[in-house]
Chain A
């Protein structure tokens, strides 16, 4: 058993430092921006820690329905993760083979894939206050 703060709480502490304390003391605007990006990345990790287990179970069941898997979902987070990765690969393979080429099958798959993306966004989508949505990578600052 580890002591407090928990891992998530520690991430929160570093995020607070990067977001609230550091930027005011950094002159270079590019570095200041990078500190905010780093804080945002920690925010993603915090959310993933909280949500991943539930997301993996949901995704496994959806993949099982799409790919006709039988049996129960794996019990541990690691085996779930492996199984979900394999399922996504199989799904890609089926798309490549043309299994969803017909108009109706295509639209049905679009509908099925929405929760796949929604889960990723629940973890990674920046809120309007976050810096990532507003920026373009690789653009020059003149």
Chain B
């Protein structure tokens, strides 16, 4: 991995050329990484020209090595951000894309940095964010409806047409299950959940551009509520209910279990705002199905993250510890599939 100084110097010469002015990169620091990318926070001082002034920015880079098979490349993520930003959705303004790996070692893009809280466990607890927690459910519902209204047929988004888009439910289920099979550990609860999910898979009447990781933890929040939606690397075409159920998955409540929407509030406020904005009614049974599928995928996600440590690919006590979180999600899966199966049985 390059040093911060080295990255700053390289960024400086690249950005000077882009803005056609002398620039200085100040206060570079690394931000916690994700599945397939690393982020850097910088201030950019531009000495002259139309961009003259101080810019607070985030640089998002691909990581070398294995890339998450469902994640977008930085170039693709940048395209999606542009589309969302143009549509007035709350996202950091995308600034520059550099597809040339020679500059920083991997392709990267630069976007505005938006100040605020992004750490889930603080968003659900901070006393100063109490009002934000009241506002967030409706704000999230409204923004998600606008994301789902984006025109995914426009030129430049062709990469969204993946095999999963043809079968959004069983496609995602199969991807996760294949990942589990590759690890090879026996997980009877996940086997049973997968069986149930396969047999009860609902149809997908409406296909939209899904954010793919829409939840507390991927948001910037201020006292007035939602400031920005982050982490667009898992955007794909799919069932809108996927994005509606994902923020209710128990792990994203950060310990505030009674608040089923991301530890901040009631799913009903969120759903009502979504339904008003989108002009649709969300089928609550399909929502319950997608919550189970979300838990299943996240259980496999934990196992896969632990594998990144176990394989030696990325030694990390944090990744290792995730393997032992699988049990919590398995318990949640048992609770949810028991309720769903009883309901199914009583309708059969």
Q: Does B1 reach chain A (CB closer than 8 Å)?
A: no
A116 touches B348 (CB 8 A): no
Note all chain B residues with C-beta closer than 8 A to A124.
Answer: 324-325, 327-328
> Which residues from A are CB-within-8-Å of B192?
95, 100, 106, 109-110, 113
Contact of B321 among A107, A114, A120, A132 (CB under 8 A): A132
A132 to B121, CA, bound (A): 10
Minimum CB–CB distance from B33 to chain A (whole Å) comes to 7
CB-based contact A139/B217 at 8 Å: yes
- A40-B321, A96-B191, A116-B188 known; A140 and B331 CB under 8 Å? no
Is A140 in contact with B255, judged by CB distance below 8 angstroms? no
Q: Are A136 and B39 in contact (CB under 8 A)?
A: no
CA distance A5 to B129 in the complex (A): 46
Is B255's CB under 8 angstroms from A106's CB? Answer: no
Most A-side CB within 10 Å, residue of B58, B218, B252, B331: B331
Q: Give the contacts of A86-131 with B (CB-CB under 8 A).
A: 88-89, 91-92, 95-96, 98, 100-101, 103, 106-107, 109-110, 113-114, 116-118, 120-121, 123-125, 128
Residues of A within 8 A of B (CB): 30, 34, 37-38, 40-41, 44, 85, 88-89, 91-92, 95-96, 98, 100-101, 103, 106-107, 109-110, 113-114, 116-118, 120-121, 123-125, 128, 132-142
Q: A40-B321, A44-B324 are in contact. Are A117 and B191 (CB under 8 A)?
A: no
Q: Please name all residues of chain B whose beta carbon is closer than 8 Å to the beta carbon of A30 when the two chains form the complex.
A: 32
Q: Which residues of A contact B330 (CB under 8 A)?
A: 117, 120
6 smallest A-B Cβ distances: which pairs? A134-B121, A120-B327, A88-B186, A124-B324, A136-B217, A139-B217
Besides A101-B195, A137-B322, A139-B119, 15 new A-B residue pairs in contact (Cβ under 8 A), listed by A number: A30-B32, A37-B321, A41-B321, A91-B188, A95-B191, A103-B345, A114-B331, A117-B327, A124-B325, A133-B328, A136-B251, A136-B254, A138-B34, A140-B32, A142-B220
B30 → chain A closest CB, angstroms: 8
B262 CB → nearest A CB, Å: 10
Q: Is the CB of A38 within 8 A of B317?
A: yes
Question: Within 8 Å CB of A41, what residues of B?
Answer: 317, 320-321, 324
Q: Contact check, B338 vs A107: say whether CB atoms are below 8 A apart.
A: yes
CB distance from A96 to the nearest CB of B (A): 6
The A-contacting residues of B in range 68-126, CB under 8 angstroms, are 113-116, 118-121
Give the distance in Å from the alpha carbon of A113 to the alpha carbon of B330 in the complex.
Answer: 10
A-B contact pairs, 19 of them (CB 8 A): A44-B324, A88-B186, A88-B187, A95-B195, A101-B199, A110-B334, A114-B331, A117-B330, A120-B327, A123-B324, A132-B321, A134-B254, A135-B254, A138-B32, A138-B34, A139-B32, A139-B231, A141-B118, A142-B41
Q: Find B186's partner among A34, A89, A120 (CB 8 Å cutoff).
A: A89
Q: Is B310 an interface residue (CB 8 A)?
A: no
| A134 pairs with B120, CB closer than 8 A | yes
Contact at B120–A106, with CB atoms within 8 Å?
A: no
Q: Is the CB of A103 within 8 A of B348?
A: yes
Query: Which of A118, A123, A133, A138 neighbours the largest number of chain B CB atoms within 10 Å of its CB?
Result: A138
Shortest beta-carbon distance from B62 to chain A in Å: 15
The chain A residue sitting closest to B60, CB to CB, is A140
